[in-house]
Amino acid sequence: MRAIIFSWEYPPRVVGQLSGYISAMSTQLAQNKVEVNIVTYDDSATGQTTEPSGVKTFRVANPVRNHIGVLTWVLTLNQEIERAAADIYYESNKQVDLIDVHDWHFIPAAVTLKNGLGIPFIFSVESLEDQRSPNANASYNMAIKSIEWLGFYEAKRISVKSEWMKDEVNRIYKVPKEKITVISTDPSVWIEEILKLYGSMAEAEE
């Protein structure tokens, strides 16, 4: 199985806890015969590496340096994320089973790749704009919410880390609960649950 993981943080870039989570997850996935390709952002250390675990990383920088906000910064960076993923797709003979997108930042790239190349994606939710900025309805917050909504609409599956978050996604975005998988935080079972989720994506494609 070949998976591409989108995350805006991956070691050595650490913004919050997502970075460490994805590092641990991808190492374990590699041990379980998943070819993992991490596509992430780094301002200067761009390019491709292969880690001892076998995980491949692709770091891209923002093609536009001057920005007026997080939204424009994210939206130009998405093109480079999209380019890196398309390159993986063509260089692996068009055999990519899924994209796993963590949080809203790279939803636009995943949506284009799904519509253009037929690669299904999982929207893995760490947190939501409505929780980060409660009751904020400025056009800036609404734009981020609209990108989250697009992600829920276009994703084949949604993964969350708790029953509470499952209810939140259902409450805020009216996503059917059948579309949402809760991944346990119990270290003895979590990777099996992720493998099962990834496996269901590949099966559904056939």
Chain residues binding another protein by CB under 8 A are 63-69, 71-72, 75-76, 78-79, 82-83, 86-87, 90-91, 108-109, 111-113, 115-118, 138-140, 142-143, 146-147, 150
Vertex 81, ends 125 and 90: CA angle to 5°? Answer: 115
Of residues 83 and 179, the one with the C-beta less far from another protein: 83
Vertex 182, ends 108 and 10: CA angle to 5°? Answer: 50
Of residues 78 and 124, the one with the C-beta less far from another protein: 78
Of residues 8 and 21, the one with the C-beta less far from another protein: 8
In the complex, least distance from residue 28 CB atom to another protein, rounded to whole angstroms: 30
Q: Rounded to whole angstroms, how far apart are CA atoms 184 and 71? A: 31
Contacts of 52 (CB under 8 A, 6+ apart): none
Vertex 55, ends 53 and 61: CA angle to 5°? Answer: 135
In the complex, least distance from residue 170 CB atom to another protein, rounded to whole angstroms: 22
Of residues 116 and 176, the one with the C-beta less far from another protein: 116
In the complex, least distance from residue 86 CB atom to another protein, rounded to whole angstroms: 5
Of residues 113 and 128, the one with the C-beta less far from another protein: 113
In the complex, least distance from residue 200 CB atom to another protein, rounded to whole angstroms: 23
Q: Tokens in use for 51?
A: 């880690």
Of residues 33 and 65, the one with the C-beta less far from another protein: 65
Q: Rounded to whole angstroms, how far apart are CA atoms 126 and 162? A: 10
Give the CB-side neighbour count of residue 195, counting CA atoms within 13 A. Answer: 13
In the complex, least distance from residue 128 CB atom to another protein, rounded to whole angstroms: 17
In the complex, least distance from residue 116 CB atom to another protein, rounded to whole angstroms: 3
Contacts of 18 (CB under 8 A, 6+ apart): 7, 8, 9, 102, 103, 126
| Pairing outcome for strands 180-182 and 157-160 | parallel
